[in-house]
Amino acid sequence: MQATEARAPAATRELFYNEALNEALRLEMERDQRVIVIGEDIAEHGGAFQVTAGLLDRFGPTRIRQTPISEIGIVGAAVGAALTGLRPVVELMYVDFAGLAMDQIVNQAAQNRFMFGGQARVPMVLRTQGGSGRGNAAQHSKSLEAWFAHVAGLKLVMPSTPADAKGLLASSIRDDDPVIFLEHKLLYRTKGAVPEGEHLVPLGKAEVKREGRDLTIVTWSREVLFALDASAQLASDGIEAEVVDVRTLVPLDKDLILASVRKTHRVLVVHEAIRRGGYGAEVAAMITEEAFDDLDAPPRRLAGLETPIPYAQHLEKSVVPQVDDIVRVAKELVV
């Protein structure tokens, strides 16, 4: 058998998170004429966080569609466009406003493929921004992933790094199902190595961001960065934490999570969203059901407090898990 020549790894360079998203959009629009982008302030302004900057000049107003301030109209137009053969990427300015479009998201985008026996499909990506940390107060700072994870027919992506943001957005645009793509607003100006050219990260594949032996920290979005900082502090005290970034909540990479838990025998699930009804409960329940005999301690959850996000910076930090909180709970699990 003839040996297959190994492919050289793609060259990388440092990009901000929002630049990586912009590059994914540009490359997918160049690759596929069916990809369009629609939303508020995405044209001349380049979007609230500059993710669509420069795309209007490159692709024109037919494919970069500026909309009125009407979330239900924006998402409804995208659903219709997807059903008729386009591959729309929607930008909603904040996830808090998704409630205004939930009928289109839940009853149309998520259900049409099933209700038409597979004859219809909705290849739509809904990008929006969530999370706290910018002093945007209660109506602009929510973490609502549990809403979308509960709806059959939706996929749910929450990347933590620029490389994952680029690779997962490209994969989401190519997917034939509707994808909710949640970006944390404080990740946009984080920087990291991003592969040049085509870069795809498959949906449903978690990643071990740090190897460890003493406990597993399962998390996503901005809390991945906090978990990595916490694991460095724990290592100085002789505790080696493994950090698992789920990357996509739906589909969830159960195999990788379970493999990590079976290695470390302890697990801490961390997320910014409110603890009650949060997606961390789904992860903890899955681990308990499928790896109970491998656990040396009950799974722990560390999550946001049951309160709207305050405006004041010191209060805002106090209601969502910070690095010191992760260190404290991890030590309680191991010691």
CA angle at residue 233 from 245 to 293, to 5 degrees?
55
In this predicted model, what pLDDT tens digit does every residue of 264-294 receive, in sequence order?
A: 999 999 999 999 999 999 999 999 999 999 9
3-state secondary structure of 335: coil
For the chain, the domains span 13-195, 207-334
C-beta neighbour count of 307 within 10 angstroms: 11
Question: Is 3.40.50.970 the CATH classification of the domain at 13-195?
Answer: yes
Mean pLDDT in residue range 42-58: 95
The proportion of the chain whose per-residue pLDDT surpasses 90, expressed as a percent, equals 95
Q: What is the DSSP string of 162-206?
A: HHHHHHHHHHHHH-SS-EEEEEETTTTT-EEEEESS-----TT--
| pLDDT of res. 7 | 60
Question: Is 247:256 a contact under the CB 8 Å cutoff?
Answer: no
Of 71, 91, 223, 272, the catalytic one is 71
* Same fold flag, 13-195 and 207-334: yes
At a CB cut-off of 8 Å and minimum separation 6, what does 114 contact?
152, 153
CA distances from 78 to 45, 81, 99, 108, 111 (A): 21, 5, 16, 11, 14
Query: Which token pair is 182?
Result: 């949640």
3: pLDDT confidence band, cut at 50, 70 and 90? Answer: very low
Of 19, 23, 91, 140, the catalytic one is 140
Q: Is the pLDDT of residue 40 over 70?
A: yes
Mean pLDDT in residue range 36-40: 97
Cα(75)–Cα(122) distance, rounded to whole angstroms? 11
Question: Is 55:26 a contact under the CB 8 Å cutoff?
Answer: yes
Active site residue 71: yes
Describe the strand order of the beta sheet including 215-219 as a list of residue ranges. Answer: 207-210, 241-245, 215-219, 267-274, 300-304
In this predicted model, what pLDDT tens digit does every residue of 98-124 receive, in sequence order?
A: 999 999 999 999 999 999 999 999 999
The CATH code that applies to domain 207-334 is: 3.40.50.920
In this predicted model, what pLDDT tens digit does every residue of 119-132 receive, in sequence order?
A: 999 999 999 999 99
What's the half-sphere exposure (Cβ side, CA atoms, 13 Å) at 33?
0
Q: What is the DSSP string of 62-82?
A: TTEEE--S-HHHHHHHHHHHH
Q: Is the pLDDT of residue 1 over 70?
A: no
Start-end of H helices in the chain: 17-31, 55-59, 71-83, 102, 112-115, 145-149, 162-174, 222-236, 254-264, 279-291, 313-318, 323-334
In this predicted model, what pLDDT tens digit does every residue of 288-320 receive, in sequence order?
A: 999 999 999 999 999 999 999 999 999 999 999
Residue with tokens 């008729």: 84
